[in-house]
A and B are shown apart, each in its own frame.
Chain A
Amino acid sequence: MARKIRVLVAKAGLDGHDRGAKVVASAMRDAGFEVIYTGLHQTPEMIVQAAVQEDVDAVALSILSGAHMTLFPRVLALMREKGITDVLLTGGGIIPREDMAALRQMGVGELFGPGTTTTAIVDYIRSSTRAGAETAR
């Protein structure tokens, strides 16, 4: 049997808006993923450490505070530093389109804004992670 896709849902920085992260986490769980939720107010270091320890296929970072241009690059750099380059970094929040494009350039995956369906997020993670690829095979 194919192993389950493991996703770390993370809230970074001081941002307390966790409605979206919790809804997405619940939807992923209902889609059969194993979901680890970090809780609020994590530093990039804490998030990447959790990603390594939990051996996840994807890190899904939720940021609604406007600090995305600081936090996504920091998490990505730390992931590279720790050598987990096969782990997908994706996420969502209030992120202007030009910032999404800039972050994609740096190597961050797809980012999702308001109005996205949870199905779209689940499908994307299924098609873009190593465990998802194994399942498909």
Chain B
Amino acid sequence: MANAVRTEAATPRVKREAEGPAASPPQLFETLSGIPVRPLYTPEDVGPGLAERLGEPGKFPYTRGLHPEMYRARLWTMRQFAGFGSAEHTNQRFHYLLAQGMTGLSTAFDMPTLMGYDPDHAMSLGEVGREGVAVSSLEDMEILFRGIPLDQVTTSMTINAPAVVLLAMYVAVAEKQGIPPEKLGGTVQADMLKEFIAQKEWICPPRPSVKICVDMIEWCARHMPKWNSISISGYHIREAGATAVQELAFTIADGIGYVEECRKRGMDVDQFAPRLSFFWDVHNDFFEEIAKFRAGRRIWAKLMRDRFGAKNPRSWMLRTHAQTAGVSLTAQQPLNNVARVAIQALAAVLGGTQSLHTNSMDETLALPTEEAATVALRTQQIIAYETGVTNVVDPFAGSYFLEALTDRVEEEAMAYIRRIDEMGGIIQAVERGYPQKEIADSAYRFQMQVEQGQRTIVGVNRFGGEEEISIPVLKIDPEIERRQIERVRAVRARRDAACWEKAIAALRDACLSDRNLVPYVLDAVRAYATLGEISDVFREAYGVYREPAVF
């Protein structure tokens, strides 16, 4: 890593107060979602009809998992998110991770890319290559996947507002490798609803943003049968402060929103629903997290079959990626994060995830170093190969507590979903700021509970030490910004201007119609139109979103 220098970053001081049992306030006997937890659970807590609520693994309603044999037949995909600096750096990291036994690629993009700006735009100042890799044109994408045959890996791209541009670039890179789109496997996140709810990376207002998402779902259903056209994400909702119940509810409500928009376009639900995928956060509350995975599958299966009339069992299945909770990591005593990540990852596995990213211990300070990322991957490998938890399908089924909790999480999530339905659906709810406000309130409540000592964060409000522990952190060279600007300017100067102009004009035209935009974006990226230029066409056609600033 030529441009990644290491420095010792001291972690914040923690006060040695409120330490030990003498100073500890009464513990809250409730889950992180505020569900009360009793000391003992008995058969009465499970109630009648458990067999129907569970079903068999691999069968409706999939409470016990999507496949009859789960991890005995196939382990989850170990997919570590990576991306920093320039396309060359991230390409090197990809090759390294693949050599370490990782089985799927996952790309993190920098803020300008996520927001649809070229590196030389004023808003990009100081942010190029910092939180992920900078991809400004097809040329960067060619470098990013150099030496990686795209029909032999699956790639997940965490990109939303300009997702259609990155999807098109991926297809165009594959074309150059001689690989047709139908052979490509992977995921583009492309979930704009959760952007307005939580992650806050947008270009246009909600309705045109969702329109473009639906364009991708439709195009992928026709041309990319192995591709997940959307990853309906609870992760960011949770990280922004939602409880597990809110994460589940708002994410499923987003899913309902996309299904409804696709149906309005006349698509048959079984045409696209099998390619919808989900993405959960996995936080510290071990049992509640397992319950969330199980309840989520059950809710989705019932909705798809009974509300939307899906006939294909694949449409009923909630397939999910999961990531351990970044927000649960502490800057204080960062080595403790290894333990947190292991417990969270175990919950995801016991919950039956299809794919998993484990966070690195240093991610609260900066992007992970290679050592930290390796420990995170090894954590998954230890769970998979050493603990024996993969030998049995859904081992917690029948636990009085876990079944009662699964039912309760489902019930509370459904109450939110009904409330959102009453508002006229998730798009209206988002426009009214409803989920945003619920999340901000939960975040504040949690912070107050921590400050009042009702919730313990080890190393932060209890068991702190005065000593400073330093771990190496990754630094991004500011030179990357300058070089990325040079590169995009060179691309603009070198490309066939007539070809570019024609493609941009056609895209502009298509934006003013209700045509599917994917083929037009494909032509534009093939003509080396930049990400910023394509996003500018969207801005002109659809306007720019401004969030109401409420707290």
Which A residues form the contact surface with B (CB < 8 A)? Answer: 9, 13-19, 21-23, 25-27, 29, 35, 37-41, 43, 65-67, 69-71, 94, 96-98, 113-119
Contact = CB atoms under 8 A, between A and B. Distances in A.
Contacts of B199: 16
A25 B476 contact: no
Contacts of A118: 447, 451
B3 to A, nearest CB: 14
6 contacts: A17-B200, A19-B440, A23-B241, A23-B443, A40-B547, A98-B9
A18 B473 CA distance: 23
Contact of B240 (A19, A40, A96, A97): A19
Tell me what chain B mostly uses at the interface: helix, strand, loop, or mixed: loop
A14 B115 contact: yes
B117 interface: yes
B7 A22 contact: no
B10 interface: yes
Contacts of A113: 12, 331
Contacts of A66: 127, 130-131, 366, 476
A65 B130 contact: yes
Contacts of A39: 546-549
A19 B200 contact: no
Interface of B: 7, 9-10, 12, 14, 111-112, 114-115, 117, 122-127, 130-131, 199-201, 239-241, 327, 330-332, 364-366, 440, 443-444, 447, 451, 457, 460-461, 473, 476, 546-551
A16 B201 contact: yes
Given A14-B114, A19-B240, A39-B548, A67 B130 contact: yes
Contact of B14 (A35, A96, A115): A115
A22 B443 contact: yes
Given A16-B201, A39-B547, A97-B9, A67 B240 contact: no
A98 B127 CA distance: 19
Q: Which 5 A-B pairs have the closest CB atoms?
A: A70-B126, A39-B549, A16-B200, A67-B126, A14-B111
Given A25-B551, A67-B126, A119-B451, 6 more contacts: A19-B327, A65-B131, A67-B111, A70-B125, A113-B12, A116-B12
Which of A18, A70, A71 has the most CB atoms of chain B within a 10 A radius of its CB? A18
Contacts of A96: 7, 9-10, 365-366, 473
Contact of A94 (B112, B123, B366, B440): B366
Contact of A98 (B7, B364, B451): B7
B331 A43 contact: no
Given A16-B199, A96-B473, A26 B551 contact: yes
A74 B49 CA distance: 63
A41 to B, nearest CB: 7
A114 B364 contact: yes
Which of A9, A21, A66, A118 has the most CB atoms of chain B within a 10 A radius of its CB? A66
A22 B444 contact: yes
Nearest to B123: A14
Nearest to B111: A14
A25 B123 CA distance: 24
Contacts of A17: 200
Contacts of B239: 19
B200 A23 contact: no
Contact of B364 (A43, A69, A94): A94
A118 B444 CA distance: 10
A119 B240 CA distance: 21
Given A39-B549, A114-B331, A119-B451, A22 B127 contact: no
B127 A67 contact: yes
Contacts of A29: 551
A134 B43 CA distance: 64
A23 B444 contact: yes
Contacts of A22: 440, 443-444, 551
A4 B112 CA distance: 38
A43 B126 contact: no
Nearest to B460: A115
B332 A115 contact: yes
A119 B125 CA distance: 33
Contacts of A13: 111, 123, 125-127
Contacts of A43: 122-123
A48 to B, nearest CB: 15
A14 B240 CA distance: 16
Which of B127, B476, B548 has the most CB atoms of chain A within a 10 A radius of its CB? B127
Contacts of A19: 239-241, 327, 440, 443
A67 B128 CA distance: 9
A40 B200 contact: yes
A29 B201 CA distance: 26
B547 A14 contact: no
A78 to B, nearest CB: 14
Which of B9, B241, B444 has the most CB atoms of chain A within a 10 A radius of its CB? B444
A43 B123 CA distance: 7
Contacts of B546: 39
A22 B548 CA distance: 13
A40 to B, nearest CB: 6
B12 A114 contact: yes
Given A19-B241, A22-B444, A115-B332, A69 B9 contact: no
Contacts of A115: 12, 14, 330-332, 457, 460-461
A40 B201 CA distance: 10
Contact of A65 (B111, B444, B473, B550): B111
Given A19-B443, A113-B12, A114-B12, A14 B331 contact: no
